[in-house]
Structure 1
Amino acid sequence: MNRLGRNTIERLARMGFGARGIVYCIVGGLALLAALGQGGRAGDSESAIRWVFLGPFGVILVGLIALGLFGFATWRLVESVTDADRHGTSAKGIVVRLAHFGSGIVAAGLGITAASLALGLGRSAGGGDGLQDWTAWLLAKPFGPWLVGLIGLGIIGGGIAFLVKAWKGDVTDRLALDEAHCRWVKPLGQFGYGARGIAFLIIGGFVIVAAWYQASSEVKGLAGAFSALRSQPYGSVLLGIVAAGHLAFGVYGLIQAWYRYIDAPDLDETDDAVLRAARSFQ
């Protein structure tokens, strides 16, 4: 089997899993160094990309990351609409596909940030205010606090789903690996999904607090989740564990880039795949 991909969408997907894996390796690695007092920074994905940008060949590397993130966004959007991963039209399947669609939107936004840096359009811009800006915009709309609260509940639901996946251990089901390799990839993936689940629970809690007080300043992303962990008793230990989990999630993403089953329609087949998916709802 050609792991590089049989068609354009599959190649974009594999590039995307690789780019996402690299970003989370950096996020987890820097946060782990911070927990160990070795000078790292417990930040989010955007801060990780900015860290790459400031290093050697930063413009080129960030540009490649941007391309990969756009590839991941394309795959997630195509996969969720065409049901390429065969989640179906049950309530659970629809929720998973909507979550994947949302992750595609997030990846596209992060890709725009990376592309802006690579093109010299956002070198002096600070990170971390985007979530608060969007929350402030939404809070100002009719029923805004309720909508923000629902988003917070959705993020918490995603965190619970990650934790359940980590507990059940079905993280290698879509990987083309033999049993010997799955024995070490499985705990790696479980550790990564568990760490992501904890982060989602904390982030979702921040969003619900923002909805309750109608204050966008209460919204914090992954950097805020890391900070919340560090402020707890034995905070450095907690941060270190969750940071190491994000590093594991990044390594798991690199494994997905090469070994994940991806049954994607090609570009000229996407329209037909969308029509078939639409008929499945009838």
Structure 2
Amino acid sequence: MAVSSHTRGYSARRMARSDSVRALGRAGFVARGVVYLLIGWITLLIALQHKALEADRTGALELIASKPLGSVLLWFLVVGFGGMALWRLSEAAFPTASGGSGKKAAGSRAASLFRVVVYTLACISTLTFVLTHKSNGSTNQASQDFTARTMAHPGGVVLVALVGIALIVGGLALVWRGVTRKFAKDLMLGSMSAGKRRWVLRLGTIGNVARGVVFAAVGGFMLDAAVTFDPKQAKGVDATLRSFAAASYGPLLLILMAVGLAAFGLYSWGEARWRRL
């Protein structure tokens, strides 16, 4: 007897929303939290003028690898990032009702697909690091290489400028998401005690604002590279954070950024426990 397309669709949706996929998604939030906590720690070391690794995912992986049982944690990150990519893919394929409808739903799917790419690349780069003990380079070098290669093609300057603008807009959106606490709609607030709810919301606010500031600053440097026709002006997360040190009250600003990025790491762990998946 032939199976109807409706039945096949229901089975695919049920598989995409299975407990195992949700568990992998939660592991992904834990993995993201680990990385942001370490980036926050490295940023604090930079602010205190200690010798520090790069304040990005590469630096976080190198810091983990230098510790006892670091390889175990690195393998967990591989699984976590891969799980996050799989969960985001299920979210793009079968969005929940909270994703809205029409243009809003299309935008939500596009955002999920973008995150699929981000976490797939994070999984691959982490796996490569585990297997070869060599990183694919810092975000600084990756940003400059991307900018140089893109600007070498016709229309490349415009594309680099658009990417920079997109990062600025995305960063400002994260700041707005943090300030207005729009992230709370994805959380099971009713499952938390009053104290836990208060702290998770605080961490989400501080963390999203800090993350948004970094993204917007990275976009600003990329836009500057397009305007000045100089790929070396593009900066990754590490160089962007270090550039804050040159500003007035630079060390204090870096300490605040370190606290904010660590707060986002802790908030990610809160999402692992209480996010609706």
Distance in 1 between the 2:48 and 2:213 partners?
20
1:136-179 deviation line (CA, Å, top 9, x unaligned): 22222331111111111111111111111111123322222336
CA distance in structure 2 between the aligned counterparts of 1:207 and 1:226, rounded to whole angstroms: 14
Structure 1 segments unaligned to the other structure (5+ residues) = 263-282
Distance, in Å, in 1 between the alignment partners of 2:74 and 2:231 is 29
Distance in 2 of aligned mates of 1:85 and 1:112: 31
- The residue that corresponds to 1:165 in the other structure is 177
SS in 1 for 2:183: coil
Alpha-carbon separation, structure 2, partners of 1:154 and 1:90: 22
On the 8 A contact 1:53/1:62 being kept in 2, the answer is yes
Q: Please name the residue that 2:220 is paired with.
A: 205
* 1:183 maps onto 2:198 in alignment: yes
1:30-73 Cα distance to aligned partner (Å, 9 max, x none): 21233234554461112111211122122222121111111112
Correspondence 1:8 to 2:20: yes
Equivalent residue, structure 1, for 2:134 = 123
Shift of 1:96: 4.3
- TM-score (norm: length of structure 1): 0.83
Mean Cα deviation higher: 94-103 or 52-61: 94-103
Question: Residues 161 and 222 of structure 2 are in contact (CA less than 8 Å); yes or no, is this contact kept in structure 1?
Answer: yes
For 1:75 and 1:141, the matched residues in 2 are separated by 35
Picking from 53, 56, 60, the partner of 2:65 is: 53
Q: Which residue of 2 aligns with 1:101?
A: 113
Mean CA deviation greater in 124-133 or 22-31 = 124-133
Kindly report which structure 2 residues correspond to 1:247-258, keeping only aligned pairs within 5 A, or say none. 247-258=262-273
Alpha carbons 1:132, 1:219 under 8 Å: kept: yes
Alpha-carbon distance between aligned partners in 2 of 1:95 and 1:141, rounded to the nearest angstrom? 29
Counterpart for residue 268 of structure 1: none
Deviations 1:110-159 (A, max 9, x none): 22121011112x52654232222222222223311111111111111111
Structure showing greater radius of gyration is: 2
Structure 2 gap ranges (5+): 1-16
The answer on whether the counterparts of 1:19 and 1:69 sit within 8 Å (CA) in structure 2 is yes
Please state how far the C-alpha of 1:93 moved relative to its aligned partner.
Answer: 4.6
Write the distance in 1 (CA, Å) between the matches of 2:148 and 2:103: 31
Superposition TM-score, scaled by structure 2 size: 0.84
Moved more, 243-252 or 172-181: 172-181
Structure whose residues are more often helix by fraction: 2
Q: Which of 142, 155, 158 is the equivalent residue of 1:146?
A: 158
Does the Cα contact within 8 Å between 1:42 and 1:227 map onto a contact in 2?
no
Query: Does the 8 Å contact 2:89/2:112 carry over to 1?
Result: yes
Q: Structure 1 residues 138-147 or 23-32, which shifts more?
A: 138-147
Aligned CA distance change for structure 1 residues 144 and 82 (closer, same or farther; 3 Å): farther
